[in-house]
Structure 1
Amino acid sequence: MKDLIYRHAGISLHDGKHAMVYSRISRRLRETGHSSFKSYLDWLESHGGDEWQEFVNALTTNLTSFFRENHHFTELDRIVRSTPTGHEWKIWCSAASTGEEPYSIAITMADALGLNGNFRIWASDIDTKVLDKGAQGIYKLENMKNVSSSQLQKYFLKGKGGNQGLARAKPELQKHIQFFTLNLIEENWSLKEQFDVVFCRNVMIYFDNATQRQVLARIHRLMKPKGTLFVGHAENFSDVRNLFALRGKTVYEKV
Protein backbone atom coordinates (compact mmCIF):
# COMPACT_ATOMS: atom_id res chain seq x y z
CA MET A 1 0.00 0.00 0.00
CA LYS A 2 2.88 2.35 0.81
CA ASP A 3 4.14 2.17 -2.78
CA LEU A 4 0.65 2.68 -4.19
CA ILE A 5 0.12 5.81 -2.10
CA TYR A 6 3.49 7.19 -3.19
CA ARG A 7 2.87 6.57 -6.88
CA HIS A 8 -0.60 8.11 -7.02
CA ALA A 9 -0.49 10.91 -4.44
CA GLY A 10 3.24 11.49 -3.94
CA ILE A 11 2.75 11.01 -0.21
CA SER A 12 5.76 9.52 1.53
CA LEU A 13 4.20 7.43 4.28
CA HIS A 14 6.13 7.45 7.54
CA ASP A 15 5.78 4.62 10.04
CA GLY A 16 3.79 6.76 12.45
CA LYS A 17 1.07 7.32 9.83
CA HIS A 18 0.22 3.67 9.15
CA ALA A 19 -2.65 3.44 11.65
CA MET A 20 -4.28 6.61 10.29
CA VAL A 21 -4.01 5.43 6.69
CA TYR A 22 -5.38 1.95 7.40
CA SER A 23 -8.31 3.48 9.27
CA ARG A 24 -9.17 5.74 6.34
CA ILE A 25 -8.76 3.05 3.69
CA SER A 26 -10.91 0.67 5.77
CA ARG A 27 -13.87 2.92 4.96
CA ARG A 28 -13.23 2.41 1.26
CA LEU A 29 -13.19 -1.37 1.80
CA ARG A 30 -16.64 -1.18 3.37
CA GLU A 31 -17.94 1.16 0.66
CA THR A 32 -16.73 -1.09 -2.17
CA GLY A 33 -17.62 -4.42 -0.55
CA HIS A 34 -14.10 -5.83 -0.15
CA SER A 35 -13.19 -8.00 2.82
CA SER A 36 -9.42 -7.48 2.82
CA PHE A 37 -6.86 -4.81 1.95
CA LYS A 38 -5.25 -7.12 -0.60
CA SER A 39 -8.56 -7.69 -2.37
CA TYR A 40 -9.29 -3.96 -2.45
CA LEU A 41 -5.81 -2.94 -3.63
CA ASP A 42 -5.70 -5.64 -6.33
CA TRP A 43 -9.10 -4.49 -7.59
CA LEU A 44 -8.02 -0.86 -7.43
CA GLU A 45 -4.96 -1.48 -9.60
CA SER A 46 -6.87 -3.50 -12.20
CA HIS A 47 -10.34 -1.87 -12.28
CA GLY A 48 -9.97 1.30 -10.19
CA GLY A 49 -11.47 3.93 -12.48
CA ASP A 50 -13.26 6.58 -10.41
CA GLU A 51 -12.24 4.78 -7.22
CA TRP A 52 -8.71 6.16 -7.60
CA GLN A 53 -10.06 9.61 -6.77
CA GLU A 54 -11.95 8.23 -3.76
CA PHE A 55 -8.73 6.52 -2.66
CA VAL A 56 -6.81 9.80 -2.83
CA ASN A 57 -9.64 11.73 -1.16
CA ALA A 58 -9.58 9.29 1.75
CA LEU A 59 -5.84 9.83 2.28
CA THR A 60 -5.66 13.60 2.28
CA THR A 61 -5.70 15.69 5.46
CA ASN A 62 -7.76 18.87 5.32
CA LEU A 63 -6.86 20.81 8.45
CA THR A 64 -7.42 24.46 7.57
CA SER A 65 -8.90 27.70 8.87
CA PHE A 66 -9.38 31.31 7.88
CA PHE A 67 -6.17 33.37 8.10
CA ARG A 68 -4.14 30.43 9.37
CA GLU A 69 -0.51 31.57 9.85
CA ASN A 70 -1.75 35.14 9.71
CA HIS A 71 1.68 36.72 9.14
CA HIS A 72 1.49 35.50 5.54
CA PHE A 73 -1.60 37.60 4.91
CA THR A 74 -0.02 40.60 6.59
CA GLU A 75 2.96 40.21 4.24
CA LEU A 76 0.69 39.73 1.22
CA ASP A 77 -1.13 42.96 2.12
CA ARG A 78 2.21 44.79 2.40
CA ILE A 79 3.40 43.50 -0.98
CA VAL A 80 0.17 44.46 -2.73
CA ARG A 81 -0.03 47.94 -1.22
CA SER A 82 3.62 48.67 -2.08
CA THR A 83 3.11 47.76 -5.75
CA PRO A 84 2.10 50.50 -8.22
CA THR A 85 -1.62 50.60 -8.97
CA GLY A 86 -2.92 48.93 -12.10
CA HIS A 87 -0.99 45.69 -11.62
CA GLU A 88 -2.82 42.50 -12.63
CA TRP A 89 -2.39 40.11 -9.71
CA LYS A 90 -2.26 36.36 -10.33
CA ILE A 91 -2.14 34.13 -7.25
CA TRP A 92 -2.10 30.35 -6.98
CA CYS A 93 -3.28 28.56 -3.85
CA SER A 94 -1.99 25.03 -4.47
CA ALA A 95 -3.65 23.28 -1.50
CA ALA A 96 -7.03 24.99 -1.32
CA SER A 97 -8.77 22.30 0.75
CA THR A 98 -12.28 23.45 1.74
CA GLY A 99 -11.59 27.01 0.65
CA GLU A 100 -10.66 28.90 3.80
CA GLU A 101 -7.19 29.70 2.46
CA PRO A 102 -8.20 31.06 -0.97
CA TYR A 103 -11.01 33.09 0.60
CA SER A 104 -8.51 34.51 3.12
CA ILE A 105 -6.33 35.50 0.16
CA ALA A 106 -9.32 37.03 -1.63
CA ILE A 107 -10.32 39.02 1.47
CA THR A 108 -6.75 40.32 1.84
CA MET A 109 -6.68 41.36 -1.81
CA ALA A 110 -10.11 42.98 -1.63
CA ASP A 111 -9.12 44.88 1.52
CA ALA A 112 -6.12 46.28 -0.37
CA LEU A 113 -7.62 46.78 -3.83
CA GLY A 114 -11.39 46.75 -3.38
CA LEU A 115 -13.86 44.08 -4.51
CA ASN A 116 -13.40 45.18 -8.11
CA GLY A 117 -9.62 45.04 -7.85
CA ASN A 118 -7.59 43.42 -10.63
CA PHE A 119 -6.77 40.06 -9.05
CA ARG A 120 -7.43 36.39 -9.79
CA ILE A 121 -6.88 33.38 -7.57
CA TRP A 122 -6.36 29.84 -8.85
CA ALA A 123 -7.36 27.42 -6.06
CA SER A 124 -6.37 23.79 -6.59
CA ASP A 125 -6.37 20.60 -4.55
CA ILE A 126 -5.98 16.87 -5.14
CA ASP A 127 -9.22 16.16 -3.21
CA THR A 128 -12.36 16.73 -5.29
CA LYS A 129 -14.79 16.66 -2.36
CA VAL A 130 -13.16 19.51 -0.45
CA LEU A 131 -13.03 21.60 -3.63
CA ASP A 132 -16.81 21.30 -3.97
CA LYS A 133 -17.19 22.78 -0.50
CA GLY A 134 -14.79 25.57 -1.34
CA ALA A 135 -16.70 26.42 -4.51
CA GLN A 136 -19.92 26.67 -2.48
CA GLY A 137 -18.26 29.15 -0.11
CA ILE A 138 -20.53 28.33 2.86
CA TYR A 139 -19.01 28.18 6.36
CA LYS A 140 -20.08 27.97 9.97
CA LEU A 141 -19.79 31.32 11.72
CA GLU A 142 -18.17 29.58 14.69
CA ASN A 143 -15.27 28.66 12.37
CA MET A 144 -14.82 32.24 11.16
CA LYS A 145 -13.47 33.82 14.33
CA ASN A 146 -10.36 35.07 12.51
CA VAL A 147 -12.51 37.01 10.05
CA SER A 148 -13.16 40.50 11.44
CA SER A 149 -16.72 41.75 11.88
CA SER A 150 -16.19 44.37 9.16
CA GLN A 151 -14.83 41.73 6.74
CA LEU A 152 -17.73 39.44 7.56
CA GLN A 153 -20.20 42.20 6.79
CA LYS A 154 -18.40 43.30 3.64
CA TYR A 155 -17.70 39.93 2.03
CA PHE A 156 -20.26 37.42 3.37
CA LEU A 157 -24.02 36.97 3.66
CA LYS A 158 -25.29 35.60 6.97
CA GLY A 159 -27.84 32.82 6.77
CA LYS A 160 -31.35 33.10 8.18
CA GLY A 161 -33.92 30.57 9.35
CA GLY A 162 -32.64 27.07 8.65
CA ASN A 163 -29.30 28.52 7.59
CA GLN A 164 -28.74 30.47 10.77
CA GLY A 165 -25.18 30.15 12.02
CA LEU A 166 -23.83 29.94 8.47
CA ALA A 167 -22.27 32.53 6.19
CA ARG A 168 -21.83 32.46 2.43
CA ALA A 169 -19.20 34.33 0.43
CA LYS A 170 -20.69 37.07 -1.70
CA PRO A 171 -20.57 36.55 -5.48
CA GLU A 172 -18.44 39.69 -5.75
CA LEU A 173 -15.73 37.89 -3.76
CA GLN A 174 -16.24 34.45 -5.28
CA LYS A 175 -15.81 35.72 -8.84
CA HIS A 176 -12.10 36.20 -8.18
CA ILE A 177 -11.51 32.50 -7.32
CA GLN A 178 -11.38 29.52 -9.66
CA PHE A 179 -11.44 26.07 -8.00
CA PHE A 180 -10.02 23.07 -9.87
CA THR A 181 -8.44 19.66 -9.30
CA LEU A 182 -4.67 19.33 -9.56
CA ASN A 183 -2.29 16.64 -8.36
CA LEU A 184 1.11 18.22 -7.71
CA ILE A 185 2.99 15.06 -8.68
CA GLU A 186 1.28 14.59 -12.04
CA GLU A 187 3.44 15.38 -15.06
CA ASN A 188 0.98 17.62 -16.89
CA TRP A 189 -0.36 20.56 -14.92
CA SER A 190 -3.24 22.50 -16.43
CA LEU A 191 -1.63 25.78 -15.38
CA LYS A 192 0.02 28.00 -17.98
CA GLU A 193 -0.02 31.27 -16.04
CA GLN A 194 2.87 33.21 -14.53
CA PHE A 195 2.07 33.92 -10.88
CA ASP A 196 3.01 36.83 -8.66
CA VAL A 197 2.32 34.83 -5.51
CA VAL A 198 2.04 31.11 -4.72
CA PHE A 199 0.71 29.63 -1.50
CA CYS A 200 2.03 26.08 -1.06
CA ARG A 201 1.54 25.54 2.65
CA ASN A 202 1.69 22.30 4.62
CA VAL A 203 1.87 20.16 1.50
CA MET A 204 5.57 19.42 1.11
CA ILE A 205 5.73 17.79 4.54
CA TYR A 206 4.04 14.76 2.95
CA PHE A 207 6.63 14.47 0.16
CA ASP A 208 10.14 13.03 0.27
CA ASN A 209 13.08 15.30 -0.60
CA ALA A 210 13.25 14.26 -4.24
CA THR A 211 9.54 14.94 -4.78
CA GLN A 212 9.82 18.26 -2.96
CA ARG A 213 12.62 19.42 -5.26
CA GLN A 214 10.72 18.32 -8.34
CA VAL A 215 7.51 20.13 -7.34
CA LEU A 216 9.36 23.28 -6.24
CA ALA A 217 11.22 23.43 -9.56
CA ARG A 218 7.93 23.29 -11.44
CA ILE A 219 6.37 25.95 -9.19
CA HIS A 220 9.47 28.10 -9.80
CA ARG A 221 8.89 27.94 -13.57
CA LEU A 222 5.31 29.20 -13.12
CA MET A 223 6.29 32.26 -11.09
CA LYS A 224 7.15 35.77 -12.23
CA PRO A 225 10.63 37.13 -11.43
CA LYS A 226 10.89 37.91 -7.71
CA GLY A 227 7.52 36.25 -7.11
CA THR A 228 6.62 35.34 -3.54
CA LEU A 229 6.18 31.79 -2.22
CA PHE A 230 4.43 31.20 1.11
CA VAL A 231 5.04 27.82 2.78
CA GLY A 232 3.94 26.06 5.97
CA HIS A 233 5.45 26.62 9.40
CA ALA A 234 7.11 23.17 9.42
CA GLU A 235 8.62 23.47 5.94
CA ASN A 236 12.18 24.54 5.14
CA PHE A 237 13.62 24.69 1.64
CA SER A 238 17.22 25.67 2.34
CA ASP A 239 18.41 22.98 -0.08
CA VAL A 240 16.86 24.78 -3.08
CA ARG A 241 18.64 28.12 -2.67
CA ASN A 242 19.17 28.18 -6.43
CA LEU A 243 15.38 28.50 -6.80
CA PHE A 244 14.14 30.44 -3.77
CA ALA A 245 15.68 32.82 -1.24
CA LEU A 246 14.30 33.14 2.28
CA ARG A 247 12.81 36.61 2.80
CA GLY A 248 10.98 36.17 6.11
CA LYS A 249 9.35 33.60 8.35
CA THR A 250 8.30 30.87 5.86
CA VAL A 251 8.31 33.48 3.07
CA TYR A 252 10.48 32.89 -0.01
CA GLU A 253 11.27 34.92 -3.13
CA LYS A 254 11.94 33.46 -6.55
CA VAL A 255 15.63 33.74 -7.46
Structure 2
Amino acid sequence: MAGVGLADVQYSANGTSTYGVDMRPNFKGYSPDCYVGKVASKLGLDRDHAIDLGLPALTAPDLVDMIRDGKMPQMNMESGCYYVYPEFQDYIRKADVISIQIGSNDAFVPCVAGLWNATNHKSDALASIILSGNLRSSGSAVSTILKGIKDMELTKEEKNASWKLITSDMAKICDRIYPQTTSALISVVQEIRKLNPDVQILLMGYTDPVPFIPCWHNYFRKLNKFEKQLAETYDLTYVAIPKAKTDLDVHPTIQGHEYIANKIVNAIDVKAE
Protein backbone atom coordinates (compact mmCIF):
# COMPACT_ATOMS: atom_id res chain seq x y z
CA MET A 1 0.00 0.00 0.00
CA ALA A 2 3.01 2.28 0.52
CA GLY A 3 0.92 4.46 2.85
CA VAL A 4 -0.98 5.76 -0.17
CA GLY A 5 -3.46 8.39 0.92
CA LEU A 6 -1.52 9.40 4.04
CA ALA A 7 -0.34 12.99 4.15
CA ASP A 8 3.38 12.20 4.44
CA VAL A 9 3.85 9.40 1.92
CA GLN A 10 7.30 9.91 0.39
CA TYR A 11 8.13 10.15 -3.31
CA SER A 12 10.18 12.23 -5.69
CA ALA A 13 9.26 13.76 -9.02
CA ASN A 14 9.94 11.97 -12.29
CA GLY A 15 11.41 8.49 -12.26
CA THR A 16 10.14 5.34 -13.93
CA SER A 17 6.90 4.90 -12.05
CA THR A 18 3.26 5.86 -11.77
CA TYR A 19 2.35 9.35 -12.97
CA GLY A 20 5.99 10.38 -13.22
CA VAL A 21 6.88 9.86 -9.55
CA ASP A 22 9.56 7.71 -7.99
CA MET A 23 8.47 5.74 -4.91
CA ARG A 24 12.00 4.72 -3.91
CA PRO A 25 12.16 7.40 -1.15
CA ASN A 26 9.18 5.67 0.47
CA PHE A 27 10.95 2.32 0.81
CA LYS A 28 12.60 3.55 4.00
CA GLY A 29 11.13 7.04 4.33
CA TYR A 30 7.54 5.88 4.70
CA SER A 31 5.01 7.55 6.95
CA PRO A 32 5.18 6.47 10.60
CA ASP A 33 1.40 6.17 10.37
CA CYS A 34 1.45 3.43 7.71
CA TYR A 35 1.34 -0.14 8.94
CA VAL A 36 4.99 -0.78 8.06
CA GLY A 37 5.98 2.14 10.28
CA LYS A 38 3.74 0.95 13.07
CA VAL A 39 5.08 -2.62 12.86
CA ALA A 40 8.64 -1.26 12.98
CA SER A 41 7.78 0.79 16.06
CA LYS A 42 6.13 -2.11 17.85
CA LEU A 43 9.06 -4.46 17.14
CA GLY A 44 11.80 -1.89 17.72
CA LEU A 45 13.11 -2.08 14.15
CA ASP A 46 14.98 0.68 12.36
CA ARG A 47 14.22 1.58 8.76
CA ASP A 48 17.00 -0.58 7.40
CA HIS A 49 15.12 -3.57 8.80
CA ALA A 50 11.53 -2.63 7.99
CA ILE A 51 11.08 -1.83 4.30
CA ASP A 52 7.90 -0.64 2.58
CA LEU A 53 7.90 -1.92 -1.01
CA GLY A 54 4.29 -0.99 -1.70
CA LEU A 55 3.77 0.67 -5.08
CA PRO A 56 0.64 2.63 -6.10
CA ALA A 57 -1.58 1.08 -8.78
CA LEU A 58 0.49 -2.13 -8.89
CA THR A 59 -1.37 -5.30 -9.88
CA ALA A 60 -0.55 -8.89 -8.95
CA PRO A 61 0.93 -9.72 -12.39
CA ASP A 62 3.04 -6.55 -12.12
CA LEU A 63 4.31 -7.72 -8.73
CA VAL A 64 5.39 -11.05 -10.22
CA ASP A 65 7.58 -9.14 -12.68
CA MET A 66 8.99 -6.92 -9.94
CA ILE A 67 10.00 -9.92 -7.81
CA ARG A 68 11.36 -12.00 -10.68
CA ASP A 69 13.12 -9.25 -12.65
CA GLY A 70 13.23 -6.15 -10.46
CA LYS A 71 11.22 -4.30 -13.08
CA MET A 72 8.08 -4.35 -15.16
CA PRO A 73 8.66 -5.33 -18.81
CA GLN A 74 6.51 -2.44 -19.99
CA MET A 75 4.03 0.12 -18.74
CA ASN A 76 0.69 -1.14 -17.51
CA MET A 77 -1.37 0.86 -19.97
CA GLU A 78 -4.55 0.85 -17.88
CA SER A 79 -2.92 2.18 -14.72
CA GLY A 80 -0.13 4.22 -16.29
CA CYS A 81 2.17 2.32 -13.96
CA TYR A 82 5.78 1.43 -14.77
CA TYR A 83 8.38 0.59 -12.13
CA VAL A 84 12.07 -0.34 -12.31
CA TYR A 85 13.57 -1.18 -8.91
CA PRO A 86 16.33 -3.83 -9.09
CA GLU A 87 16.81 -3.58 -5.31
CA PHE A 88 13.46 -5.33 -4.88
CA GLN A 89 15.20 -8.66 -5.17
CA ASP A 90 17.91 -7.82 -2.63
CA TYR A 91 15.35 -6.73 -0.06
CA ILE A 92 13.44 -9.97 -0.55
CA ARG A 93 16.57 -12.12 -0.27
CA LYS A 94 17.47 -10.55 3.07
CA ALA A 95 14.00 -10.56 4.62
CA ASP A 96 12.95 -12.63 7.63
CA VAL A 97 9.26 -11.79 7.16
CA ILE A 98 7.39 -10.57 4.09
CA SER A 99 3.76 -9.46 4.06
CA ILE A 100 1.89 -9.55 0.76
CA GLN A 101 -1.23 -7.56 0.03
CA ILE A 102 -2.04 -7.37 -3.66
CA GLY A 103 -5.04 -7.91 -5.91
CA SER A 104 -7.45 -5.04 -5.29
CA ASN A 105 -5.93 -2.96 -8.08
CA ASP A 106 -6.29 -5.87 -10.48
CA ALA A 107 -10.03 -5.24 -10.76
CA PHE A 108 -10.14 -1.63 -9.61
CA VAL A 109 -7.84 -0.32 -12.34
CA PRO A 110 -9.85 -1.86 -15.24
CA CYS A 111 -13.03 -0.44 -13.72
CA VAL A 112 -11.50 3.03 -13.58
CA ALA A 113 -10.29 2.55 -17.15
CA GLY A 114 -13.80 1.47 -18.10
CA LEU A 115 -15.18 4.69 -16.67
CA TRP A 116 -12.56 6.60 -18.64
CA ASN A 117 -13.82 5.00 -21.83
CA ALA A 118 -17.50 5.38 -20.92
CA THR A 119 -17.05 9.11 -20.35
CA ASN A 120 -14.91 9.61 -23.45
CA HIS A 121 -11.92 10.39 -21.24
CA LYS A 122 -13.76 13.06 -19.23
CA SER A 123 -13.06 11.12 -16.01
CA ASP A 124 -9.30 11.39 -16.55
CA ALA A 125 -8.64 14.01 -13.87
CA LEU A 126 -10.75 12.28 -11.24
CA ALA A 127 -9.29 8.86 -12.08
CA SER A 128 -5.75 10.20 -11.75
CA ILE A 129 -6.49 11.60 -8.31
CA ILE A 130 -8.02 8.33 -7.12
CA LEU A 131 -5.42 5.97 -8.60
CA SER A 132 -2.47 8.04 -7.40
CA GLY A 133 -3.80 8.10 -3.84
CA ASN A 134 -4.10 11.88 -3.76
CA LEU A 135 -7.84 11.96 -3.08
CA ARG A 136 -7.47 12.69 0.63
CA SER A 137 -4.81 15.36 0.12
CA SER A 138 -7.08 17.27 -2.25
CA GLY A 139 -9.38 18.40 0.57
CA SER A 140 -12.77 16.84 1.26
CA ALA A 141 -12.84 13.49 -0.54
CA VAL A 142 -16.60 13.64 -1.02
CA SER A 143 -16.45 17.18 -2.37
CA THR A 144 -13.62 16.24 -4.71
CA ILE A 145 -15.56 13.29 -6.11
CA LEU A 146 -18.77 15.30 -6.53
CA LYS A 147 -16.92 18.17 -8.16
CA GLY A 148 -15.11 15.73 -10.44
CA ILE A 149 -18.41 14.21 -11.55
CA LYS A 150 -20.00 17.61 -12.11
CA ASP A 151 -17.02 18.88 -14.09
CA MET A 152 -17.33 15.99 -16.54
CA GLU A 153 -20.56 17.42 -17.99
CA LEU A 154 -21.55 14.03 -19.35
CA THR A 155 -23.83 13.62 -22.34
CA LYS A 156 -26.84 11.32 -22.16
CA GLU A 157 -24.90 8.60 -23.99
CA GLU A 158 -21.96 8.94 -21.61
CA LYS A 159 -24.25 8.74 -18.59
CA ASN A 160 -25.85 5.59 -19.99
CA ALA A 161 -22.45 4.03 -20.66
CA SER A 162 -21.29 4.89 -17.14
CA TRP A 163 -24.45 3.41 -15.64
CA LYS A 164 -23.96 0.24 -17.67
CA LEU A 165 -20.42 -0.03 -16.33
CA ILE A 166 -21.66 0.21 -12.75
CA THR A 167 -24.67 -2.08 -13.10
CA SER A 168 -23.26 -4.85 -15.29
CA ASP A 169 -19.79 -4.38 -16.74
CA MET A 170 -18.05 -4.17 -13.35
CA ALA A 171 -19.28 -7.65 -12.53
CA LYS A 172 -17.88 -8.93 -15.83
CA ILE A 173 -14.54 -7.27 -15.08
CA CYS A 174 -14.36 -8.87 -11.63
CA ASP A 175 -15.20 -12.29 -13.09
CA ARG A 176 -12.59 -11.89 -15.82
CA ILE A 177 -9.85 -10.64 -13.51
CA TYR A 178 -10.29 -13.15 -10.68
CA PRO A 179 -8.50 -16.12 -12.34
CA GLN A 180 -5.68 -13.83 -13.50
CA THR A 181 -5.20 -12.49 -9.98
CA THR A 182 -5.24 -15.90 -8.30
CA SER A 183 -2.77 -17.28 -10.84
CA ALA A 184 -0.49 -14.31 -10.24
CA LEU A 185 -0.72 -14.75 -6.46
CA ILE A 186 0.62 -18.27 -6.82
CA SER A 187 3.48 -16.95 -8.95
CA VAL A 188 4.23 -14.21 -6.41
CA VAL A 189 4.67 -16.81 -3.68
CA GLN A 190 6.76 -19.07 -5.91
CA GLU A 191 9.06 -16.25 -7.01
CA ILE A 192 9.59 -15.13 -3.41
CA ARG A 193 10.44 -18.69 -2.41
CA LYS A 194 13.04 -18.86 -5.18
CA LEU A 195 14.79 -15.79 -3.78
CA ASN A 196 14.30 -16.62 -0.11
CA PRO A 197 13.17 -20.19 0.67
CA ASP A 198 13.06 -19.70 4.45
CA VAL A 199 11.25 -16.38 4.75
CA GLN A 200 7.95 -16.29 6.64
CA ILE A 201 5.29 -15.05 4.23
CA LEU A 202 2.23 -13.31 5.63
CA LEU A 203 -0.58 -13.41 3.12
CA MET A 204 -2.76 -10.46 4.03
CA GLY A 205 -6.49 -10.83 3.54
CA TYR A 206 -8.75 -8.33 1.85
CA THR A 207 -11.08 -5.75 3.26
CA ASP A 208 -14.26 -4.91 1.38
CA PRO A 209 -14.20 -1.12 0.97
CA VAL A 210 -17.30 -1.11 -1.25
CA PRO A 211 -19.64 -3.73 0.28
CA PHE A 212 -22.66 -2.05 -1.29
CA ILE A 213 -21.51 -3.17 -4.76
CA PRO A 214 -22.32 -6.91 -4.99
CA CYS A 215 -19.70 -7.81 -7.59
CA TRP A 216 -16.92 -6.26 -5.50
CA HIS A 217 -18.16 -7.95 -2.34
CA ASN A 218 -18.11 -11.28 -4.16
CA TYR A 219 -14.66 -10.59 -5.64
CA PHE A 220 -13.07 -9.98 -2.25
CA ARG A 221 -14.96 -12.87 -0.67
CA LYS A 222 -13.57 -15.26 -3.27
CA LEU A 223 -10.06 -13.83 -2.96
CA ASN A 224 -10.07 -14.31 0.81
CA LYS A 225 -11.20 -17.90 0.38
CA PHE A 226 -8.51 -18.51 -2.22
CA GLU A 227 -5.79 -17.00 -0.04
CA LYS A 228 -6.69 -19.30 2.83
CA GLN A 229 -6.27 -22.28 0.50
CA LEU A 230 -3.02 -20.85 -0.89
CA ALA A 231 -1.67 -20.41 2.62
CA GLU A 232 -2.36 -24.05 3.44
CA THR A 233 -0.78 -25.28 0.22
CA TYR A 234 2.45 -23.28 0.52
CA ASP A 235 2.78 -23.14 4.32
CA LEU A 236 2.09 -19.42 4.52
CA THR A 237 0.48 -17.41 7.29
CA TYR A 238 -2.91 -16.07 6.28
CA VAL A 239 -3.78 -12.85 8.12
CA ALA A 240 -7.42 -11.78 7.98
CA ILE A 241 -8.06 -8.02 8.27
CA PRO A 242 -11.86 -7.75 7.90
CA LYS A 243 -12.20 -4.74 10.19
CA ALA A 244 -9.51 -2.53 8.66
CA LYS A 245 -11.06 0.91 8.21
CA THR A 246 -10.68 2.49 4.77
CA ASP A 247 -11.36 5.92 3.33
CA LEU A 248 -13.26 6.81 0.16
CA ASP A 249 -10.07 6.23 -1.83
CA VAL A 250 -10.31 2.58 -0.61
CA HIS A 251 -6.93 2.84 1.16
CA PRO A 252 -6.68 2.35 4.94
CA THR A 253 -7.17 5.20 7.36
CA ILE A 254 -4.59 5.75 10.10
CA GLN A 255 -6.79 3.60 12.34
CA GLY A 256 -6.88 0.99 9.60
CA HIS A 257 -3.09 0.93 9.43
CA GLU A 258 -2.89 0.49 13.21
CA TYR A 259 -5.30 -2.44 13.03
CA ILE A 260 -3.31 -4.09 10.22
CA ALA A 261 -0.03 -3.54 12.08
CA ASN A 262 -1.37 -5.29 15.17
CA LYS A 263 -2.52 -8.20 13.04
CA ILE A 264 0.94 -8.49 11.46
CA VAL A 265 2.81 -8.33 14.75
CA ASN A 266 0.59 -11.04 16.21
CA ALA A 267 1.15 -13.25 13.16
CA ILE A 268 4.94 -13.10 13.07
CA ASP A 269 6.63 -16.27 14.26
CA VAL A 270 8.88 -15.69 17.25
CA LYS A 271 11.65 -17.58 15.52
CA ALA A 272 11.31 -15.32 12.47
CA GLU A 273 11.86 -12.07 14.36
Name the TM-score, length of structure 1 as normaliser.
0.28
Greater relative contact order: 1 or 2 (C-alpha under 8 angstroms, separation 6 or more)? 2
Query: Hey, which of these two has a bigger chunk of strand by percent?
Result: 1
Name the TM-score, length of structure 2 as normaliser.
0.27
Query: Hey, which of these two has a bigger chunk of helix by percent?
Result: 2
